[in-house]
Amino acid sequence: MPDIDKNDLWDITFTIQETAKSYNIDPELLKAMAYIESRFDTNAVNKSADTKGLFQLKPFVAEEMGIKGMEHVPSLSIDATAKLIVKNQKALEERGIPATNPNLYLTHQQGIRGFTELYNSAKKNITPRTVKQRISNNAGKGLTALDFLRKWTQKYHESALEADQFLSEELQQ
């Protein structure tokens, strides 16, 4: 686990709660996403995926959300990710896909087009080559679209619980 200052963690938690309330989204989703992507480490960098910050934003996403170069600033990253969630929620609803927390997380991971293709493939129980590549790039090599969707839905739920446990333990010390 990264060494995160307790005051920073309090600020992150407070900002997540307030931001979620202001965008009318579930704070659990933001906490689980931050836990999965960075374990709440605002300085996290994944060079192979070219992602940064609390939510591991790609440069084009950070630029689109107006925070390129500031991905490590928690309040900006949280706000940008909340805006992205709202945008993705609308896009999923327009496509007739349930905007559940696991689906919204996977949309963050895969992008709206990638997740739509994954979801529709899982629904038809097929796994086209393009979906197989996305699955392989996200710790799912050899899985079908349906199995990958199930795996990450389970991982989301486990991570949501782990995030709460982590925050509870870290903030009580």
pLDDT at 100: 98
Alpha helices in the chain (DSSP H): 6-23, 27-38, 59-64, 74-94, 101-110, 112-124, 129-137, 145-172
pTM: 0.93
pLDDT at 146: 96
User: Among candidates 58, 65, 113, which has minimal Cα distance to 86?
Assistant: 65
Q: What is the pLDDT of residues 46-101, one digit of tens each?
A: 998 899 999 999 999 999 999 999 999 999 999 999 999 999 999 999 999 999 99
pLDDT at 53: 94
Q: What is the pLDDT of residues 110-144, one digit of tens each?
A: 999 999 999 999 999 999 999 999 899 888 899 99
Domain chopping of the chain, boundaries: 6-172
6-172: CATH, from 1.10.530.10, 3.40.50.1260, 1.10.10.60, 3.40.1580.10 = 1.10.530.10
